């Protein structure tokens, strides 16, 4: 895999109709600066609004991947993104004259050919990879969908589908090397659907640009040519269509014996590109589609965010999200008032789990109480507040230049004394965050038992 970021040498243009909208669209790839990523630009709208190819901007996954922001939409972006992912291009602007890229022949080759003709150049900045260090997974048991990602030095994809259809059956494919395999073995794989889906898709206002020249249509009825003619008449199609001996309408030859599953891997590659960084990991997929792909991409994005924070604060242990060195980097507190020892889990702006080891060496035990040491309730609350401060500071830009002031503490309950030798496990959840003010709800545990709980309101101010 390439180590430097990449863009294209010069603009690259393609034109054609969109698969679902049926509208003609001119698409132009343009070079972009380092660290800019990929933006779709609607040149047909006032002020040419831009939308980033980012997992947070996905608004629909029903029959393709749609990006949205307010009223702005760009439909069916997965083949464009698969071309960029497969060619390992990091930074490019994608200008559109309408809301859906051209479908071409139903594969990614329209875009791959244009990008290769333009030429690809390395840039001065290094790529930032998402490195899979431990297995993670996503599944939908009701649909028998499973996705697992395991550690690997490079990106690998293993994909399996089983459609219970004689024309398809069980299919399997494996992508091992992007540079050697993508352009010839995966980019040409075309999209496909079953004959039984065509009528439904038309009724839903989709596949207005679909035809037998840009999709493989697979026969899945027992009524023979009668069913094909019925659907053809209902849809007012001009094309001739017959059942065929292969189970594919019009006996259109496949480019690969397992072309459908290769196209599924192509879609997966495009959807995962929305993470915003290439992956070093082995993805094993079974019966996955856009919805599951995007769900997996969101889980990998969470991992990416955690890796960036750990790197930023130089945490040195895998046993904790942030060790004491990381905490010292993010928190303004120092002895004797730094009360959290580890952050086990932190999802910025959502939740945090921290540990406080309670020892007899704590200064407050000298006076609270001699001969009967009990951790003061106010110190338990302070420990919870410090964990909340870590959560809040990582939800904003430039946290080292900020400090957290707590404005109120409500619904405080102490349920059990905390003694020397106990370990406090503190969890806080962000309830609301507007401008510089937030509300958090927290609990402190010893073992599995809640020892304290409270709601906090805090404000972020400049140091």
Measured between alpha carbons, how far is 444 from 440 in angstroms, rounded to an integer? Answer: 13
User: Apex CA 60: angle with CA 57 and CA 65, to 5°?
Assistant: 80
Residue 290: active-site member:
yes
Question: Could you give phi then psi for residue 214, rounded to 5 degrees?
Answer: -130, 15
Report the run of H or E that residue 386 belongs to, with start and end. Answer: helix 377-393
Report the run of H or E that residue 344 belongs to, with start and end. Answer: strand 342-347
Decide: 314 and 94 in contact? Cβ < 8 Å: no
Measured between alpha carbons, how far is 452 from 444 in angstroms, rounded to an integer? Answer: 5
Decide: 18 and 76 in contact? Cβ < 8 Å: yes
Find the radius of gyration of the CA atoms of the chain. 27
Nearest to 11 by CA among 43, 35, 49: 43
Measured between alpha carbons, how far is 208 from 19 in angstroms, rounded to an integer? Answer: 6
Q: Strand 72-74 relative to strand 66-69: parallel, antiparallel, unpaired? A: antiparallel
Asked whether the bond before 40 is cis by omega within 30 degrees of 0, the reply is no
Catalytic: which of 79, 263, 282, 290?
Answer: 290
Locate 403 and state its tokens.
Answer: 């400090």
CA 300 to chain centre: 6
* 3-state SS assignment for residue 167: coil
Nearest to 228 by CA among 209, 239, 243: 243
What count of residues does the chain have?
A: 463
Nearest to 27 by CA among 64, 38, 36: 38
Distances (CA, A) of 136 to 155, 220, 303, 321, 338: 15, 35, 9, 16, 33
Residue 368: active-site member:
yes
Q: Which residues pair with 38 in a beta bridge?
A: 92
Locate 389 and state its tokens.
Answer: 């401060």
Report, as residue numbers or ranges, the catalytic residues: 290, 368
């Amino acid at each position: 895999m390439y180590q430097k970021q990449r863009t294209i040498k010069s603009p690259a243009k393609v034109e054609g109709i969109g698969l679902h909208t049926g509208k003609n669209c001119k698409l132009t790839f343009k070079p972009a600066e380092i660290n800019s990523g990929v933006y779709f630009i609607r040149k047909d709208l006032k002020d040419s609004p831009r939308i980033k190819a980012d997992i947070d901007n996905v608004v629909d996954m029903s029959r393709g991947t749609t990006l949205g922001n307010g009223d702005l939409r760009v439909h069916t972006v997965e083949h464009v993104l698969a071309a960029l992912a497969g060619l390992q291009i990091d930074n490019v602007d994608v200008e559109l004259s309408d809301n859906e890229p051209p479908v071409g022949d139903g594969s990614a080759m329209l875009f791959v050919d244009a990008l290769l003709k333009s030429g690809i150049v390395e840039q001065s900045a290094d790529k930032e990879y998402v490195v899979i260090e431990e297995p993670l997974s996503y599944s939908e048991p009701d649909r028998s969908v499973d996705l697992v990602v395991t550690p690997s030095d490079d990106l690998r994809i293993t994909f399996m589908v089983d459609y219970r259809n004689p024309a398809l059956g069980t299919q399997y494919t494996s992508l091992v090397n992007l540079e050697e395999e993508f352009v010839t073995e995966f980019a040409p794989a075309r999209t496909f659907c079953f004959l039984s889906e065509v009528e439904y898709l038309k009724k839903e206002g989709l596949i207005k640009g679909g035809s037998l020249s840009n999709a493989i249509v697979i026969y899945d009825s027992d009524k023979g040519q009668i069913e094909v003619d019925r659907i053809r008449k209902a849809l007012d199609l001009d094309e001739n269509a017959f059942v065929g001996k292969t189970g594919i309408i019009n006996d259109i030859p496949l480019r690969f014996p397992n072309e459908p599953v290769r196209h599924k891997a192509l879609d997966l590659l495009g959807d995962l590109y929305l993470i915003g960084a290439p992956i070093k990991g082995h993805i094993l997929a079974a019966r996955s589609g856009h919805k599951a792909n995007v769900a997996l991409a969101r889980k990998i994005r969470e991992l990416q965010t955690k890796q960036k924070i750990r790197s930023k604060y130089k945490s040195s242990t895998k046993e904790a999200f942030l060790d004491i060195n990381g905490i010292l980097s993010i928190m303004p507190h120092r002895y004797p008032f730094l009360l959290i020892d580890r952050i086990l889990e932190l999802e910025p702006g959502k939740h945090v789990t921290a540990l406080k080891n309670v020892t007899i060496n704590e200064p407050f035990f000298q006076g609270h109480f001699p001969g009967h040491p009990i951790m003061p309730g106010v110190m338990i609350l302070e420990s919870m507040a410090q964990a909340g401060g870590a959560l809040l500071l990582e939800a904003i830009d430039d946290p080292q230049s900020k400090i957290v002031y707590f404005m109120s503490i409500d619904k405080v309950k102490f349920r059990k004394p905390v003694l020397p030798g106990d370990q406090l496990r503190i969890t806080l959840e962000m309830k609301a965050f507007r401008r510089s003010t937030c509300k958090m709800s927290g609990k402190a545990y010893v073992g599995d038992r809640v020892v304290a709980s409270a709601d906090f309101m805090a404000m972020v101010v400049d140091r």
